[in-house]
Structure 1
């Protein structure tokens, strides 16, 4: 990892050098941006990377001003900076937590990579679930689903909501270079690319189309389900007998898919379809037209169907493995059909004396044979 000291350093700017020291390099870039705050000439550019942009303050009819935020092109600079932060945090978690646990467990290469993947995602989903839940409890639309579509377009966001989306997009974008930094196996890259692209597509889509209320409401249960899955997988790698978490995950997974489909159909099929403010205006942030509604609903439904398909295949695989293990255990515990030599000898002897056929002596049998 980036922060670990190596006895033998590879050639400078080689692949191994970049992989081993990528966190240090990224830290230097982040420090350069932070140092830009110290100088008046560069401060206005550095702030664009570090702080959330497009602040709008409302003071009418209120004693205290309220700050809201829009989105715009400058958000790309903010996302870039927090991609760097995510890479640094990834390296810290890997080196100071996951690598130490891996040394104790002595896992195989396949389990080692899966353990690292689940460890990183479990930490991310735990943080996202706690943060998202705190935002939902503070917002009114958590208890009133009609606010998911009433008053659309929802142009204004609170600081926590916008920063939450910035961090979500930054995390999933940072996962792309991590495929190279973590030396992910070629056979695992397509699966992880699909996972990353789907997350970026849906989160960025909700952010750009001013559907951040619906997106946040759907993200929180999704984070809970994924957190439970990766935590269960971590416990499974530490002890293969600990599989009860997968049962709870399977139940919550199906419930989360049903909740996602229900809220999506209500929002796009009924709420926005009956809204008075329909039309397409990029300047006003209004995307409430039939084509976009159908496209969004189709994208969500197809994603949920794909996730259910993967879920069913996963459960069938687990069921086959369980049935094979049970069959192998029965073969081991079942008595042998053929008796052993000792048992056959014991069967032909009484009190240690061998029984002769037809009570004849060896000489008599030899005479008969002749």
Structure 2
């Protein structure tokens, strides 16, 4: 009687157990799926140190991985220098008195007769103003004809015109003046207080003097770069080097173009740093320690001090010196590794010069990914509990 009474309950127990087993399997599958998604999609600031190392040339990649030491520092610390070539420095100063095509001259002619060739009745002098020297270097003077002016000084041109006129009028007196120096000019543009085209005159025959003529620079002198374009050649110099080294104060030539601009050199900071941004270099030279400090230093909660990378494209000559190989051709991608956990590493980073267009990248510490994984496991706990309740 008792066995018959409880037999229906026993027969009903199997479906209940089956539902519970299915619920547990469902929860396990959901949890596993969530963990898989979490592990695959965990956010991070960039590639890990291992991923960068796996892209090395030795492992079939395109990047040379180089651990920085004293030898590497000596080979890699090449900084393209600003300065003028020997051709710029060897150019002699323009003679301020030389006449050139485009110059405008003024002539005053006195004749020793009452009724002269050029003078009007009752006057003994004639004023010929604004005679522009043509592209071939000539001017036209009545009764003297076409006279070559270019290449002569005003005094030499005065003698030439006098000789041509004295055969037609007795004892002519000629005076030549330069009205404007349009034939010997330079263009000054960019970050100056007064842009324009300025004549090369006696006080403005050098680069520094011409910049003064243009009102000086309109930006901070520490970041001002001066470029001079002459024909197909050009050279540039820091403004402060222009004034500190007389060799940089070059003589100007007609047609020079002077451009003053703000230094545009910069590096990019990425990864586990206090900031991720493009940073102007600011001055002539900074090192890796200064570069990290400029963006707030290493993130104390994320950064791996063993994984500080400086990424750059090295020219062939530098790449050969750094890698110690002569079979390197063309620019090479190089990833320099700095280990800031060692005293030597700090000194090496202090001696490593940052160049224009460098990328300073700091990887995350290995425990960071574990921490993120753990958080990703704990965060969906409420969702799992909700699923459990629904199955129950």
| Category of TM-score, reference length = shorter chain | under 0.3
Which of 1 and 2 has greater Rg? 2
**Bigger helix share:** 1
Select the structure with the greater relative contact order (CA < 8 A; seq sep ≥ 6). 2
TM-score normalised per structure 2: 0.20
